[in-house]
Amino acid sequence: MSEQTATYGFMEPQSPPKTARKPFFKLLFGDLLSATLSAVTVLLLLALIPAFNWAVLDAHWTVRSPSDCQSGGACWAFIGAKARLILFGLYPPSEQWRAVLVILLIVGMILVSLSPKLWNARLLAVWGVAVGAMLILMGGGVAGLPPVPTSKWGGLPVTLMLAVLSLGLAFPLAVLLALGRRGRLPIPRAVSIFTIELVRGLPLVGLLFVAAILLPLLLPPGWTIDKLGRTLAALTIFAAAYLAEVIRGGLQGLDEGQIEAAEALGIPYWKMIWHIVLPQAIQNVIPPLTNTAIVMVKNTSLVLIVGVFDMLSAARSATTDPAWPAPSTEAYLFVASIYFVICFGIAIYSRYLERGVAARTHG
Amino acid sequence: MISALWYSARVRAWAAQIALLAGLGLFLWMIVGNTVENLTARGIRTGFDYLWRPARFPISESIIRYDASDSFLWAYVAGLANTLWLSLLSIVFATILGLFVCLARLSHHPVLSYMTGVYVTVLRNVPLIVQLLFWYAIATSVFPAPRAALNPLPGLFLSIRGVYAPALIVEPGGWFFLIASAALFIVALAVGLWSARRARSFGAPILLAALAFWAATNVVLYVALGRPLKLEMPELNGLNFSGGTNLSPEFAAIIIGLTIYTSAFIGEIIRGGIEAIDKGQWEGARALGLSERVVMFKVILPQALRIIVPPMTSQYLSTVKNTTLAVAVGYPELGLVVNTVINQTGQAIESILIMLCVFLSISLSVSLFMNWYNARVALVVR
């Protein structure tokens, strides 16, 4: 027995065995299982051929008149003809540059904010100014810009603004809810738990119904918030409840000693939260936070149900043009690709952030 | 004295809490006041007595019997039944498909695993409502007329008028057969599990024997009752199909859309659970000389399930909530019924309250079950 232990003791640490790279043919058809899987794959790819034919080979890219799209393949010319309606909705064409500017402003601000090194109070202030500028640009009525009522807003700017504003407004609310739920005071805790569980138990469609139909009944007579504002409120509350649970996860992962040390040093509560608790808590939950951001971008499309003219509603109304034969599939594919670019972009960014966190904590 | 009170953390905390409570109370009181004022100004009567009046609007399809002379209450019930039916079907289908997605993703086959990766990424990054509208557009414009219907599986036809599938015809004695079969199944499973637990090493064979016994009795009973169940295949008669069951394009679009969307999430949840198991567990179990099957079912899966079940439940729960998106394509689930009732009667507060209560009770009962399950499977640390 002791001899055996001794042998183990003298074993040299070995380098991991070299994994032989199988030749490609053997990888695909080497044994029964992989051959079966290859057959399945081939069948799946064969099933995609009609879709490929429809989308590329038989497709109409440019047409002289809508009726040229009658036969077979996809009618991408429809997207070209309706891009303006899908992207900008009913926004007055003469003022369209303002909507374009809003999109550029949002994209630019997001690009500027990508690097975590720039996250500070000044960036927050710049965001505040930018959001104000967006609202003025879209709404007009000052500095010689003709006013455009929110009922004329539509398309991609509305989708982007709903996503950015709902997340931005929800974040501070979510922090308060999470702190309340984690805190020692019974009343804030009860209020937070009630709010979070209530909102998370409901489908967003239900909340949007509340905002669109019920909210006008709850406000004092004479007060009116337009539909866009009400749906934004519903999206904000929804996002706040989900973000609060994510942030609570971060708070739970925080070492208790951090708070005890801060209290022992006599640091006031809110300073401790701002400088010690939140930075660490949020860093721990970056992947689920970006996940919630993706979910919220996708959720903005639900405003279609209560009749807000976002990109999806604009696409749907574009398909009702009787001049074009049944172009819905193409329109939805176009909208889907825009959502995909945004959401997948956030997912890639999340991976980049995670690598940064990993490098700082382990490197 | 005063300054001692002013600087006391406890007094401050309580003062802040009382202020919060008072603020909330004032807020609620104002909202109730506003609502009452608005309702009287618009002449809307409140109360739930409208529930017993006849609804007088049609519901295009319903899995329980409903017609326009039924009450509003029954209209809600019909909507809820549709919601639950949609949820059940899409959860079952999505779980099966999700399992395949996970297996394909985990397979070492480079092309298949890459393709599944693309499938998952695309589906997860496009809003469900866009996908539903897309499938609805396919079902109403790309599917061919009934005469040229697509026939991907025997007895299943896809056409612009909807999906036709075989129908299960229950003849006299059929119900008796179904109930007896279900009862026998429960007995066989209970006896099988009980004796399997008693005789550990022969567990699986005993369970299999019990199920085989159940299957054999089923065959005997089925023949003895004169074959009381039949599958009726849809057949093309002239311009349309006769026989079989017809699923409307709306229903087909939602089932396809929800199933495919959810399968991407479920596939990732299962994969996450299996990949989270430490490699040492596989190696340790194999080093002990356990067979691959025992390694999978006795070592890996029990641990993976502990990780998989919580996100899976919340995925199921969000699938139930996601069925409300069926409003967008016009399938009459609870949300659409509520919307119709509001348009017909103006009873917005009551209708929305009913909808919120239904979803809250579903969510709460599922999370209670979750807590119970988590407590049951949690690691017992000794």
**Chain segment B190-215, per-residue pLDDT in tens:** 888 787 777 665 666 777 888 888 88
Return the pLDDT at A328: 79
d(C-alpha B281, C-alpha B295), whole Å:
9
Q: Does B110 touch chain A (CB under 8 A)?
A: yes
User: Where does the pLDDT of residue B121 fall: very low under 50, low under 70, confident under 90, or very high at 90 and above?
Assistant: very high
pLDDT score of B381: 54
What DSSP element (H or E) covers B234? none
Q: Are strands B235-237 and B162-165 parallel, antiparallel or unpaired?
A: unpaired
Q: How far apart are CA B382 and CA B379, in angstroms?
A: 9
Q: Please provide the size of chain A in residues.
A: 363
Residue B299 above 80 pLDDT? Answer: yes
The distance in angstroms from the start CA to the end CA of chain A is: 42
Put simply, the answer to whether A217 touches B349 (Cβ < 8 Å) is yes
Separation CA B373–CA B309 (nearest Å): 9
Residue of B287 and B167 predicted with greater confidence: B287
Give the burial class of A46: count Cβ atoms within 10 A of its Cβ; 0-12 exposed, 13-18 middle, 19 or more buried.
exposed
- Asked if B17 and A205 come within 8 Å (Cβ–Cβ), the reply is no
Query: Which residue in chain A has the smallest CA separation from B321?
Result: A203
Residues 13-32 of B with CB under 8 A from A: 13, 16-17, 20-21, 24, 30-31
Residue A32 touches partner B, C-beta closer than 8 Å = no
Query: How many residue contacts between A and B have a Cβ separation below 8 Å?
Result: 154
Of residues B236 and B324, more confidence is placed in B324
pLDDT, residue B203, reads 63
Give the C-alpha separation, B309 to B369, whole Å. Answer: 11
Nearest Cα residue in chain B from A335 = B130
- For chain B, what is the mean pLDDT? 83
The gap from C-alpha A283 to its chain's centroid, in whole angstroms, comes to 18
Q: Which residues of B touch A344 (CB under 8 A)?
A: 121, 125
Looking at residue A350, what is its pLDDT? 86
Cα dihedral sign for B262, B264, B269, B273? positive
B70-109 residue pLDDT tens: 888 888 888 898 899 899 989 999 999 999 898 888 877 8
> Which chain A residues in 198-257 lie under 8 Å from chain B, judged by CB atoms?
198, 200-206, 209-210, 213-214, 216-221
Which of B126, B130, B355 lies nearest to residue A206, judging by beta carbons? B355
Band of residue B257 on the pLDDT scale cut at 50, 70, 90: very high
A35 close to B (CB below 8 A):
no
**pLDDT for position B201:** 59
H-type alpha helices, B323-347 = 334-345
- Tell me the DSSP string of B180-203: HHHHHHHHHHHHHHHHHHHSGGGH
Of residues B110, B121, B348, nearest to A213 (C-beta): B348
Residue B377 in tokens: 């499977």
Nearest neighbour of B137 by CB, restricted to A27, A206, A328: A328
Euclidean distance between CA atoms B238 and B244, whole angstroms? 16
Looking at residue B265, its pLDDT comes to: 93
β partners of residue B150: B158
Q: Determine, for residues A200 and B363 on separate chains, whether the beta-carbon distance falls below 8 Å.
A: yes
Given a contact cutoff of 8 angstroms between Cβ atoms, the answer to whether B316 and B380 are in contact is no
CATH superfamily of A162-306+326-362: MetI-like (1.10.3720.10)
Helix, strand, coil tally for chain A in percent (to 5): 75, 0, 20
Interface test with B, best of A189, A209, A300, A339 (most B CBs within 10 A): A209
Q: Which residues of A touch B109 (CB under 8 A)?
A: 27-28, 34, 37-38, 41
Sheet with B150-153: list strands edge to edge: B150-153, B156-159, B162-165, B245-247
Using CB atoms, which residue from B21, B34, B360 is nearest to A218? Answer: B34
With an 8 Å Cβ cutoff, are B109 and A344 in contact?
no
* Disruptive mutation site among A32, A38, A41 for chain B (greatest number of B CBs within 10 Å): A41
**Which of A28, A202, A218 is nearest residue B360 as measured by Cβ atoms?**
A202
Cα of B15 to nearest chain A Cα, Å? 11
Do A220 and B41 count as a contact with CB atoms less than 8 A apart?
A: no
- Which residues from B are below 8 Å from A343, CB to CB? 124-126
State whether residue B378 is helix, strand or coil: coil
Q: Which residues of B touch A332 (CB under 8 A)?
A: 130, 133-134, 137
Question: Would you call A188 and B322 a contact, using CB atoms and an 8 Å cutoff?
Answer: no
- Under an 8 A CB cutoff, do A198 and B360 touch? yes
For residue B355, pLDDT over 70 is answered with: yes
Across the 363 residues of chain A, what is the mean pLDDT of every consecutive 10-residue run?
A: 44 58 67 78 84 77 73 76 83 83 89 80 86 83 78 86 92 92 86 89 89 82 80 93 91 86 89 88 85 91 87 86 77 91 91 77 54
Put simply, the answer to whether A213 touches B352 (Cβ < 8 Å) is yes
Please give the pLDDT value at position A6: 44
**What DSSP letter does each residue of A60-74 carry, written as one string?**
BSS-SSGGGGGSSS-
CA distance A212 to A230: 6
Higher pLDDT, A178 or B366: A178
To the nearest whole angstrom, how far is the Cα of B376 from the nearest Cα of chain A? 22
Q: Nearest chain A Cα to B104, which residue? A: A37
Q: Which residues of A touch B138 (CB under 8 A)?
A: 329
Q: H or E element: which one contains B151?
A: strand B150-153
* Cβ neighbours of A220 in B, within 8 Å: 30, 34, 37
Residues of chain A with Cβ-Cβ distance to B264 below 8 Å are none
User: Is B107 within 8 Å of A336 when comparing Cβ atoms?
Assistant: no
Task: Identify the residue with better confidence: A97 or B142.
Answer: A97
Residues of A whose CB is below 8 A from B110: 27-28
CB-based contact, B97 to chain A, within 8 Å: no
- Domain ranges (residues) in chain A: 87-153, 162-306+326-362
- Residue B325 with chain A: CB contacts under 8 Å: 205, 302, 305
Contact A205 B325 (CB under 8 A): yes
Of A187, A220, A335, the CB nearest to B21: A187
